[in-house]
Structure 1
Amino acid sequence: MDDDDNSTTDSESLRESTASITSSILEYRHINGRPFQQSKTTEYWAPTDDDYQEGQDILDMADEYPSAEVVGTDISAVQPAFIPPNCSFQIDDAQLNWTSNPDKFDFVHLRYLYGAIDDWKKLYRQAYTHLRPGGWVESLEIDIETHSENPKVEKDESHIFKKWFKLFFECGRRTGRTWEIARDGRQEEYMREAGFADLFSKSWKVPIGGWPEDKKLKKIGLYNGAFIDHSIDGFAIFPIGEILGWSQVEVTVLVSQMRKALREPRALPYFTV
């Protein structure tokens, strides 16, 4: 059987294995007027409304590599209205057994799964198993602790920046889905255990707001600050309200404090990825 036949068979197998979607993976619940996904293994913390549904990066990848088959997966129905012919989206849960054939992919990109995965080692093992020889897995996660270039703010243990990330870390301990995957070399450790040998790790400092003097970092900070300012409510509704049991008023006050602190000109905030 030639390569074309193999490719056709793999695609047909993948379509058949993902054709049956259980009703549970399409279940939603509403908290404070925002829809949240609820699947068999994942109570994902972010809302699933339009503010969080884009997938533009996947479309860009498909446009840049028109000869490649690009597949995006999510536990929610986030498919954009218009997609390139070589791109498809599937509703699936990465914590379940992957439905594609082993050695299927040349490149697997995992991103922003902090607070949602109950077994990171299994996730990386599955990625390794379904990767072709010579392929790559890219895992991009955020350390959600907000730091400050202002030493006075950075060293203040009572600052809202410190309170904020500690609350989310506690959420992870209660649910068994860590928010600390980007700390202490855990990604590298778990990937090495999964079988990956050629590991490369890089960390970036991402500013929040337009405070950097460097033009590129200033632009990044302005975009990042606008995104966080707009979406910070959605960060806290489920983790703080539902997992930690805070009232809606308490969550609103917490978010207001964090938003105000991030806007403070002397705060000089950033996080790392």
Structure 2
Amino acid sequence: MPNYPPRESSLHPTYPTSMAGFIHSNEPIEANESDWEIFSDYSSASEAGSNLSVASSIRDYVYENGRRYHRYGDEGKYILPNDETEQDRLDLIHHVFLMILGGELHLAPVGNPKNVLDCGTGTGIWALDFGEQHPESTVTGVDLSPIQPVWSVPNVRFDVDDLEKEWVWPQDHFDFIHIRCICNGIRDYQQLINQAFTHTNPGGWVELTEFSFEIVSNDGTLVPNTALAQYFDTLVNAYKRVGQVFPCPKMMRESMENAGFVDIVEKTFNTPWGPWPKNEKLREIGTNMALVGSAGFEAYALAAMTRALGMDLMEAKDLCHRAHMDVLNRNIHVMNPTYFLYGRKPE
């Protein structure tokens, strides 16, 4: 077996275990009144691996608004881009989740699962990290876009497929199914969870993670005339027109219960946006979320606003830019609820 160099994306900084404690707290976050500046020790994902896994014949994309989008399956179903800028954003979001979870890749008590499925794998960074940590596991990452590394570690493979179509894997097969930030590409969430239940091995676990499409402020610094508030009002209006699923703990829990999952655990973490929190670790998360927003506001909005609302491209871009400036404004203190749920398939 040849010696492969370590993946750059696996060289995460050490995350103190105390970070995981923040997920249990809904207490107001205290703002930092001292001077601040943007910072990040983030490194993007890179190369290296061992087995060819993604066919090149489906790399046929749509170019719109200066961004690249997928064409596979129902064109336009997933309304976010898949270009290099978006891939960097997805890897940075993965970094944020590691900070939120104290360096852990998941919350479910999965042990050492034999077969693992990562739904909406994106760049494949979660699947690759899990595969490296669990060499005894076989990890499959699936996504609409073939943007994963062409070469991966021996126990990780990537498939291109539409998760809303009938799943091709065996029933009762996966010991752990990881589903994170997938609502932008799903129109029937219950059907997704039903299929996850069918293909989970009895005793296996499914974990769901989603950002809310609402932002909150505990101190009233987010007012209706801010560009940030206007951005979310416009975005939600556009997403309603394209049939977007809006995640919330009640909907996610009910979907799991309806499918048949038991021992469901639900946790919510208020993710700060911007480097305004006084707490050092929360400030680092907020700062990274501000960096996410530099590309994220346009990623979420451009296609939706121009397609569904008929907005002029420059008008949509201007709204995205002004909303991001609000996130960088130390006098506007906003948080984005982030939902974590996991449950077990009965024996």
Smaller-chain TM-score bracket: 0.7 to 0.9
Contact 1:105 1:131 in 2 (8 A): yes
Match of 2:283 in 1: 218
Q: Is 1:145–1:161's contact at 8 Å kept on the other side of the alignment?
A: no
1:58 corresponds, among 127, 133, 139, to 127
Q: Deviations over 1:90-117 (max 9, x none)?
A: 1111111000000110000111122321
Q: CA deviation at 1:247?
A: 0.8
Q: Which residue of 2 aligns with 1:234?
A: 299
User: Counterparts of 1:87 and 1:242 in 2: how far apart (Å)?
Assistant: 36
Name the counterpart of 2:217.
Answer: 148
Q: How does 1:1-273 map to 2 (within 5 A)?
A: 26-41=59-74, 43-53=77-87, 54-151=123-220, 153-154=221-222, 156-178=223-245, 180-182=246-248, 185-273=250-338
Q: What is the deviation of 1:82?
A: 4.2
Unaligned runs of 5+ residues in structure 2 are 1-52, 88-122, 339-347
How many angstroms apart in 2 are the aligned matches of 1:157 and 1:223? 25
Paired letter, 1:45 = I
RMSD: 2.2
Distance 1:123 1:32 in 2: 30
Contact in 2 for aligned 1:144/1:165 (Cα 8 Å): yes
Question: Amino acid of the residue matched to residue 78 of structure 2?
Answer: Y
Normalised by the length of structure 1, the TM-score is: 0.85
| In 1, Cα distance between equivalents of 2:283 and 2:219 | 17
* Deviation of the 1:87 alpha carbon: 0.5
How many residue pairs get matched?
A: 250
Moved over 3 A (4+): none
> Larger deviation: 254-263 or 42-51?
42-51
1:182 maps to amino acid: C
> What is the Cα deviation at residue 27 of structure 1?
4.2
Partner Cα separation in structure 2 for residue 194 and residue 27 of structure 1: 35
Q: Extract unaligned runs of 5+ from structure 1.
A: 1-18
Matched-pair contact (CA < 8 Å) for 2:70–2:82 = yes
- How far is the alpha carbon of 1:130 from its aligned partner? 0.1
Give TM-score, length-normalised by structure 2. Answer: 0.67
Asked if structure 1 preserves the Cα contact closer than 8 Å seen for 2:276 and 2:286, the reply is: yes
Aligned position for 2:47: none
* TM-aligned CA deviation for residue 89 of structure 1: 0.8
Per-residue CA deviations over 1:204-259 (Å, capped at 9, x if unaligned) read: 01111221121211111111211212332222111111121111111111112201
When you count helix as a share of all residues, which structure comes out higher? 1
Is the 1:147–1:161 contact (alpha carbons within 8 Å) kept by the matching residues of 2? no
Q: CA deviation at 1:81?
A: 4.4
* Contact preservation (8 Å) 2:80, 2:184: no
The Cα of 1:186 is off from its aligned counterpart by 0.6
